[in-house]
Amino acid sequence: MADPPDKKVLKATQEDDGNVDRLSALPDCVLLYILSRFCFCTKSAAATSVLSKRWRNLFVLLPEIDLYFFADEDVSDRDRLYSDFINFTNRVIRQRNEAPIRRIRLVLSHFSERHRMLFEWLLISVAAAFSLSIIQELEILIVIDRTTKPLSISVPPEIFTCKTLVSLSLKLGVYWTVPDLVCLPNLKVLGLDMFKLVDEACIGKFLQGCPLLEQLELSMRPFNHERDADEHIEVNFFKISSPVLKRVILCFQGVESEFTTVVESNSLEHLSFLLDGQHKVAIDAPNLRSLKLHGDLLEVDIIQNLISLDNALLEIDFLCHMRTRSAIISCSERAFKFFRGLQNVKSISFSESFLIALYFSQRVLPTFRNLIKLQLDPFDCPAFPRECMSSILSSLFESSPNLEVLIFSEVSKNYFSKDEELNSVFHEALPLVLVECLKEIEIGNFKGEEHELKLVEFFLESGKSLKKMTLFGYAGVSLSKGLDRILSFKKCSDDCQIVSKEQWNWLFR
């Protein structure tokens, strides 16, 4: 039976509508938004060129350029792929017909000496884009091939004179030199890696060209006498001073001689050091809220009282380079002086290496009335008697009258003492007045061994105020038997909750 005329018209209209590319008919701004939301990177967006002529060069107009080069270890034609990647990147940057660029992000793996010239050519293209677009963010990350020896590259000075740049991250993995002229009036976030300290004032000059800088992350290349002798470069002092800095992360690796770093800022709130070598640090930041120190230190000098300090993480060793008794005592005195400057802290994490220095100072610890959270991290030092560690721990607990949260990253068999009578040891190292006030306890790398179970039992029986006991199980170890026994322990606090978690939860908590 034939369809009526009105049904034929409707059917024909539906068939015609099926052939219309309504997506391509959308305005450029809408299509660019779609590409930016659903494509992982610029290269993925470029794949849409095959859809139609309308899409052919649309990806070139994206305001955010994200390009990544990754190659397998055994790729035989890696050099050709790298060359193709550089050519593609240059095309994306140079053939935009003045389309605005908000961000450029380049990530390259397996970089080697053979690629240096091509990469420097790419940097020239990036620098040229600064004169054509209002670029706000630039991020370049290079991962050096493991067989490549250290090398240097030239960074175009135009990158450091962009008035619109808000965020700059150059983690090049190769050595480069800070330019003489820096003018980045709107820069707020700066991350630099592996650059040369040509003199003591070079970073100061750099910061003067960044009057609005709030976040700074620096990874500095150490001076090497053999490598840099011909350049006559020897820097052993470094100063950061800025009135608006809020967050600073400093990383020094392989420093051969004694090195001094000074950080000065009234607005600074977060400060982190990752140190390798012989370092002296001076901090003049009265409004600091967070302090993290990792590595080897000779001295830390607090210029003004840290009255606003909320948390401190001290994974540091003051005694690493000490070889004589007098040197150990002297360095321990400096460790105690630094520790005394942290009296206002609310949360603190120690490595045992720092506690060893406090023990050798033989000084009475100050009272930490604001301290409510304490974390203890193990440090393998067989030569240091555990009885001495138990003594300094007891002094530390007695100096923390308002402690509420106690965290052990791990409790080894002889953590408090080699004495088999653990109950008496616990009472000596853990003052009852402290345990009765604790509200929360965490133990990491928990294996359910006898000494751990006895410690848990001691806390449960003595913790009048205890609300929560969390055990982070050691990877691959079942805690079922240990938990059954723990649940049978008498609890002084009926409200105490016992929680068991996997160790990876400890790492990301």
- Write out pLDDT tens, residues 398-450: 999 999 999 999 988 777 766 556 666 787 888 888 999 999 999 998 988 88
Q: Is 335 exposed, middle or buried (0-12, 13-18, 19+ CB in 10 A)?
A: buried
- Mean pLDDT on 324-341: 91
CA distance 93 to 90: 5
The residue behind tokens 């009272």 is 367
- The predicted pLDDT at position 8 comes to 45
- The predicted pLDDT at position 24 comes to 63
- The predicted pLDDT at position 29 comes to 61
- The predicted pLDDT at position 422 comes to 61
DSSP letter at 474? P
- The predicted pLDDT at position 504 comes to 55
- The predicted pLDDT at position 424 comes to 67
| Predicted model pTM | 0.83
DSSP letter at 492? S
Q: Are strands 215-220 and 237-241 parallel, antiparallel or unpaired?
A: unpaired
User: Quick one: pLDDT band at residue 290, thresholds 50, 70, 90?
Assistant: very high
pLDDT digits (tens, 9 = 90+) for 112-138: 888 889 889 989 988 888 877 788 999
Amino acid at 306: L
Q: Buried b / exposed e across 391-421, counting CB within 10 Å, b at 16+?
A: ebbbbbbebbeebebbbbbbbeebbbbeeee
pLDDT digits (tens, 9 = 90+) for 249-276: 999 876 767 889 999 999 999 999 998 8
Comparing 71 with 53, which gets the higher pLDDT?
71
- Mean pLDDT on 361-367: 92
Amino acid at 281: V
Q: Are strands 259-264 and 237-241 parallel, antiparallel or unpaired?
A: parallel
